[in-house]
Structure 1
Amino acid sequence: MARAIAFVLLASTLFCCQAAPVDRPGSSDVHCPLNVKILDALKGAPAGNVALTVFRQGDDQTWEKITSGNTNIAGEVHELLSDQDFKPGVYRVVFDTKTYWKGEGRASFHEAAEVVFEAHAEGHRHYTLALLLSPFSYTTTAVVGKGHD
Protein backbone atom coordinates (compact mmCIF):
# COMPACT_ATOMS: atom_id res chain seq x y z
CA MET A 1 0.00 0.00 0.00
CA ALA A 2 2.78 2.43 0.91
CA ARG A 3 4.49 1.75 -2.42
CA ALA A 4 1.29 2.42 -4.32
CA ILE A 5 0.84 5.72 -2.49
CA ALA A 6 4.47 6.68 -3.15
CA PHE A 7 4.02 5.88 -6.84
CA VAL A 8 0.84 7.96 -7.09
CA LEU A 9 2.69 10.85 -5.44
CA LEU A 10 5.60 10.42 -7.89
CA ALA A 11 3.25 10.36 -10.87
CA SER A 12 1.37 13.45 -9.66
CA THR A 13 4.70 15.23 -9.10
CA LEU A 14 5.62 14.46 -12.69
CA PHE A 15 2.41 16.00 -13.99
CA CYS A 16 3.07 19.14 -11.97
CA CYS A 17 6.65 19.31 -13.23
CA GLN A 18 5.48 19.26 -16.83
CA ALA A 19 3.87 22.65 -16.32
CA ALA A 20 6.87 24.11 -14.50
CA PRO A 21 7.71 27.72 -15.25
CA VAL A 22 10.82 28.40 -17.30
CA ASP A 23 12.81 29.93 -14.42
CA ARG A 24 12.46 26.87 -12.19
CA PRO A 25 15.43 24.48 -11.65
CA GLY A 26 15.15 21.57 -14.05
CA SER A 27 13.03 23.62 -16.42
CA SER A 28 15.38 22.67 -19.26
CA ASP A 29 13.20 19.53 -19.39
CA VAL A 30 10.74 21.49 -21.49
CA HIS A 31 13.31 21.44 -24.29
CA CYS A 32 14.60 17.89 -23.75
CA PRO A 33 12.45 15.24 -25.42
CA LEU A 34 13.32 12.45 -22.93
CA ASN A 35 13.72 12.84 -19.17
CA VAL A 36 14.01 10.33 -16.35
CA LYS A 37 12.97 10.56 -12.70
CA ILE A 38 13.64 7.80 -10.14
CA LEU A 39 12.32 7.36 -6.60
CA ASP A 40 13.71 4.93 -4.01
CA ALA A 41 10.57 3.43 -2.44
CA LEU A 42 12.42 2.30 0.71
CA LYS A 43 13.73 5.75 1.55
CA GLY A 44 10.81 7.65 0.07
CA ALA A 45 13.39 9.87 -1.57
CA PRO A 46 14.94 10.41 -5.00
CA ALA A 47 17.37 7.72 -6.16
CA GLY A 48 20.61 9.49 -7.01
CA ASN A 49 23.50 8.04 -8.99
CA VAL A 50 21.53 5.40 -10.89
CA ALA A 51 23.25 4.64 -14.18
CA LEU A 52 21.09 4.25 -17.28
CA THR A 53 21.63 3.59 -20.97
CA VAL A 54 19.30 4.49 -23.84
CA PHE A 55 19.13 2.30 -26.97
CA ARG A 56 17.20 2.67 -30.25
CA GLN A 57 16.05 -0.36 -32.21
CA GLY A 58 17.39 -0.52 -35.76
CA ASP A 59 15.61 -1.77 -38.87
CA ASP A 60 17.39 -5.12 -38.36
CA GLN A 61 15.88 -5.38 -34.81
CA THR A 62 19.27 -4.88 -33.10
CA TRP A 63 19.75 -2.27 -30.38
CA GLU A 64 22.07 0.70 -30.93
CA LYS A 65 23.34 2.59 -27.89
CA ILE A 66 22.28 6.23 -28.21
CA THR A 67 23.35 7.77 -24.88
CA SER A 68 23.88 7.09 -21.19
CA GLY A 69 23.81 9.04 -17.95
CA ASN A 70 23.35 8.96 -14.20
CA THR A 71 20.60 10.41 -12.07
CA ASN A 72 21.54 13.47 -10.05
CA ILE A 73 20.87 13.96 -6.33
CA ALA A 74 17.23 14.76 -7.20
CA GLY A 75 16.88 11.37 -8.92
CA GLU A 76 16.65 13.01 -12.35
CA VAL A 77 18.54 12.97 -15.63
CA HIS A 78 18.29 16.07 -17.79
CA GLU A 79 19.34 16.65 -21.38
CA LEU A 80 19.74 12.97 -22.30
CA LEU A 81 18.94 13.56 -25.96
CA SER A 82 18.44 16.42 -28.34
CA ASP A 83 15.39 16.64 -30.59
CA GLN A 84 17.61 15.71 -33.54
CA ASP A 85 18.82 12.51 -31.82
CA PHE A 86 15.36 11.45 -30.63
CA LYS A 87 13.94 10.16 -33.90
CA PRO A 88 10.71 8.17 -34.27
CA GLY A 89 11.25 4.53 -33.34
CA VAL A 90 11.40 1.96 -30.56
CA TYR A 91 13.59 2.79 -27.56
CA ARG A 92 14.88 0.79 -24.60
CA VAL A 93 16.10 2.42 -21.40
CA VAL A 94 18.12 0.12 -19.12
CA PHE A 95 18.57 1.15 -15.47
CA ASP A 96 21.48 -0.41 -13.52
CA THR A 97 19.46 -1.16 -10.39
CA LYS A 98 21.80 -3.85 -9.04
CA THR A 99 24.70 -1.40 -8.69
CA TYR A 100 22.39 1.18 -7.11
CA TRP A 101 21.18 -1.25 -4.43
CA LYS A 102 24.70 -2.54 -3.81
CA GLY A 103 25.76 1.07 -3.18
CA GLU A 104 22.88 1.36 -0.71
CA GLY A 105 24.16 -1.74 1.13
CA ARG A 106 21.23 -3.92 0.03
CA ALA A 107 20.87 -7.10 -1.97
CA SER A 108 18.49 -6.94 -4.90
CA PHE A 109 16.66 -9.38 -7.13
CA HIS A 110 16.90 -7.61 -10.50
CA GLU A 111 20.14 -7.01 -12.39
CA ALA A 112 18.46 -4.15 -14.23
CA ALA A 113 15.11 -2.52 -14.90
CA GLU A 114 14.11 -1.99 -18.53
CA VAL A 115 11.53 0.19 -20.22
CA VAL A 116 10.82 -0.37 -23.92
CA PHE A 117 8.55 2.08 -25.72
CA GLU A 118 7.71 3.53 -29.12
CA ALA A 119 8.42 7.23 -29.51
CA HIS A 120 6.73 9.73 -31.80
CA ALA A 121 4.17 7.30 -33.25
CA GLU A 122 1.63 10.16 -33.29
CA GLY A 123 3.93 13.09 -33.96
CA HIS A 124 6.57 14.81 -31.85
CA ARG A 125 6.14 14.28 -28.11
CA HIS A 126 7.97 14.96 -24.85
CA TYR A 127 8.51 11.87 -22.66
CA THR A 128 9.22 11.65 -18.94
CA LEU A 129 9.89 8.15 -17.63
CA ALA A 130 9.34 7.59 -13.92
CA LEU A 131 10.77 4.60 -12.08
CA LEU A 132 9.85 3.55 -8.54
CA LEU A 133 12.52 1.22 -7.13
CA SER A 134 12.69 -1.30 -4.34
CA PRO A 135 15.22 -4.14 -4.02
CA PHE A 136 12.76 -6.79 -5.24
CA SER A 137 10.45 -4.85 -7.53
CA TYR A 138 10.17 -1.84 -9.78
CA THR A 139 7.30 0.04 -11.35
CA THR A 140 7.38 2.48 -14.23
CA THR A 141 5.06 5.03 -15.68
CA ALA A 142 5.40 7.65 -18.38
CA VAL A 143 4.10 11.14 -18.84
CA VAL A 144 3.76 11.87 -22.54
CA GLY A 145 3.16 15.48 -23.48
CA LYS A 146 2.95 17.58 -26.57
CA GLY A 147 6.27 18.46 -28.11
CA HIS A 148 7.48 22.04 -27.76
CA ASP A 149 7.37 24.50 -30.62
Structure 2
Amino acid sequence: MTTSKTGSPLTTHVLNTADGVTGARMALSLHRLDPQMILWNLISVGTTDIDGHCTDLITKEAFTAGMYKLRFETGQYWESLGQICFYPYVEIVFTITDQEQRFHLPLFLSRYSYSTFTSSQ
Protein backbone atom coordinates (compact mmCIF):
# COMPACT_ATOMS: atom_id res chain seq x y z
CA MET A 1 0.00 0.00 0.00
CA THR A 2 1.13 3.52 -0.71
CA THR A 3 1.75 5.53 2.43
CA SER A 4 0.72 9.14 2.36
CA LYS A 5 3.15 11.90 3.33
CA THR A 6 0.24 13.68 5.01
CA GLY A 7 -0.94 10.68 6.99
CA SER A 8 -4.27 10.42 5.17
CA PRO A 9 -5.90 7.05 5.90
CA LEU A 10 -7.30 6.99 2.34
CA THR A 11 -5.18 7.29 -0.80
CA THR A 12 -5.70 6.59 -4.50
CA HIS A 13 -3.88 6.52 -7.78
CA VAL A 14 -4.99 6.30 -11.39
CA LEU A 15 -3.36 4.27 -14.15
CA ASN A 16 -4.26 4.88 -17.78
CA THR A 17 -3.96 1.28 -18.94
CA ALA A 18 -4.92 2.13 -22.53
CA ASP A 19 -1.80 4.25 -23.03
CA GLY A 20 0.41 2.65 -20.37
CA VAL A 21 0.86 5.88 -18.40
CA THR A 22 -0.25 7.36 -15.11
CA GLY A 23 -3.56 9.19 -14.85
CA ALA A 24 -1.92 12.53 -14.15
CA ARG A 25 -3.93 15.68 -13.39
CA MET A 26 -7.31 13.95 -13.01
CA ALA A 27 -9.86 15.80 -10.88
CA LEU A 28 -11.58 13.78 -8.16
CA SER A 29 -13.72 14.26 -5.09
CA LEU A 30 -14.47 12.37 -1.89
CA HIS A 31 -17.99 12.27 -0.41
CA ARG A 32 -19.59 10.72 2.70
CA LEU A 33 -23.22 9.58 2.80
CA ASP A 34 -25.45 11.19 5.40
CA PRO A 35 -27.60 8.13 6.28
CA GLN A 36 -30.42 10.21 7.77
CA MET A 37 -30.79 12.61 4.85
CA ILE A 38 -29.70 10.08 2.19
CA LEU A 39 -27.45 12.80 0.72
CA TRP A 40 -23.79 12.73 -0.27
CA ASN A 41 -21.74 15.39 1.52
CA LEU A 42 -18.59 16.63 -0.17
CA ILE A 43 -15.52 16.10 2.01
CA SER A 44 -12.67 17.09 -0.29
CA VAL A 45 -11.63 17.70 -3.86
CA GLY A 46 -8.26 16.98 -5.38
CA THR A 47 -6.25 16.30 -8.47
CA THR A 48 -3.88 13.44 -9.11
CA ASP A 49 -0.22 14.44 -9.29
CA ILE A 50 2.13 13.75 -12.20
CA ASP A 51 2.48 10.13 -10.96
CA GLY A 52 -1.32 9.68 -10.83
CA HIS A 53 -1.48 9.74 -7.01
CA CYS A 54 -3.73 11.68 -4.67
CA THR A 55 -2.68 11.26 -1.05
CA ASP A 56 -4.40 14.01 0.94
CA LEU A 57 -8.07 13.09 0.64
CA ILE A 58 -9.11 13.10 4.30
CA THR A 59 -7.61 13.51 7.75
CA LYS A 60 -7.50 10.65 10.21
CA GLU A 61 -9.83 12.60 12.53
CA ALA A 62 -12.46 13.07 9.80
CA PHE A 63 -12.25 9.45 8.63
CA THR A 64 -15.16 7.95 10.54
CA ALA A 65 -17.18 4.80 9.94
CA GLY A 66 -19.72 5.13 7.16
CA MET A 67 -20.35 4.94 3.44
CA TYR A 68 -18.10 6.93 1.09
CA LYS A 69 -17.69 7.49 -2.62
CA LEU A 70 -14.66 8.54 -4.56
CA ARG A 71 -15.61 10.24 -7.83
CA PHE A 72 -13.10 10.46 -10.67
CA GLU A 73 -13.74 12.97 -13.49
CA THR A 74 -12.72 10.62 -16.28
CA GLY A 75 -14.49 12.47 -19.10
CA GLN A 76 -12.53 15.65 -18.43
CA TYR A 77 -9.32 13.62 -18.23
CA TRP A 78 -9.81 11.95 -21.63
CA GLU A 79 -10.94 15.23 -23.17
CA SER A 80 -7.70 16.86 -21.98
CA LEU A 81 -5.87 14.16 -23.96
CA GLY A 82 -7.94 14.89 -27.07
CA GLN A 83 -9.85 11.61 -26.77
CA ILE A 84 -13.43 10.56 -26.08
CA CYS A 85 -14.59 7.99 -23.56
CA PHE A 86 -17.71 6.05 -22.67
CA TYR A 87 -17.77 6.87 -18.93
CA PRO A 88 -17.93 10.62 -18.14
CA TYR A 89 -17.05 9.85 -14.53
CA VAL A 90 -16.37 6.85 -12.31
CA GLU A 91 -17.72 6.56 -8.78
CA ILE A 92 -16.36 3.97 -6.38
CA VAL A 93 -18.69 3.51 -3.41
CA PHE A 94 -17.35 1.75 -0.32
CA THR A 95 -18.07 1.26 3.38
CA ILE A 96 -15.62 1.92 6.19
CA THR A 97 -16.22 0.01 9.41
CA ASP A 98 -12.75 0.30 10.98
CA GLN A 99 -11.49 3.86 10.74
CA GLU A 100 -8.17 2.82 12.28
CA GLN A 101 -7.20 1.05 9.04
CA ARG A 102 -5.56 2.73 6.06
CA PHE A 103 -6.97 2.10 2.59
CA HIS A 104 -5.58 2.51 -0.92
CA LEU A 105 -8.10 2.54 -3.81
CA PRO A 106 -6.47 2.52 -7.26
CA LEU A 107 -8.36 3.02 -10.51
CA PHE A 108 -7.24 1.27 -13.70
CA LEU A 109 -8.73 3.07 -16.65
CA SER A 110 -9.15 2.91 -20.40
CA ARG A 111 -11.59 4.87 -22.55
CA TYR A 112 -14.20 2.06 -22.45
CA SER A 113 -13.51 0.21 -19.22
CA TYR A 114 -12.26 0.55 -15.67
CA SER A 115 -11.48 -1.64 -12.69
CA THR A 116 -10.51 -1.13 -9.09
CA PHE A 117 -9.58 -2.99 -5.95
CA THR A 118 -8.56 -2.03 -2.43
CA SER A 119 -5.68 -2.81 -0.19
CA SER A 120 -5.69 -2.08 3.52
CA GLN A 121 -3.17 -1.97 6.30
TM-score normalized by the length of structure 1: 0.76
CA contact (8 A) 2:73 2:89 kept: yes
Secondary structure of the residue aligned to 1:99 is helix
Map of 1:142 onto structure 2: 118
Structure with max Cα Rg: 1
Would the alpha carbon gap of residues 109 and 115 (structure 1) be closer, same or farther in structure 2, given more than 3 Å must change? Answer: same
Q: Distance in 2 between matches of 1:123 and 1:52?
A: 21
Q: Distance in 1 between matches of 2:60 and 2:99?
A: 12
- Number of positions where the alignment pairs a residue of Structure 1 with one of Structure 2: 120
Instruction: Decide which structure has greater strand share.
Output: 2
Instruction: Decide which structure has greater helix share.
Output: 1
Counterpart pick for 1:72 among 44, 49, 52: 49
Structure 2 residue identity aligned to 1:126 = R
Cα RMSD of the aligned pairs, angstroms, is 1.4
Map of 2:58 onto structure 1: 81
Secondary structure of the residue aligned to 1:98 is helix
1:123 Cα offset (Å): 5.1
Q: Percent identity?
A: 28
Map of 1:97 onto structure 2: 74
TM-score normalized by the length of structure 2: 0.92
Map of 2:87 onto structure 1: 110
Q: Give ranges in structure 1 of 5+ residues lacking alignment.
A: 1-14, 19-26
Map of 1:130 onto structure 2: 106
Q: Which runs of 4+ in 1 moved over 3 A?
A: none
Map of 2:20 onto structure 1: 44
1:45 Cα offset (Å): 1.4
Deviations 1:24-81 (A, max 9, x none): xxx516x210101110012211110110011000122211000010000000011111
Q: Give ranges in structure 2 of 5+ residues lacking alignment.
A: none
Name which structure has the greater RCO, CA cutoff 8 Å, separation 6+. 2
1:144 Cα offset (Å): 1.3
Q: Distance in 2 between matches of 1:36 and 1:88?
A: 19
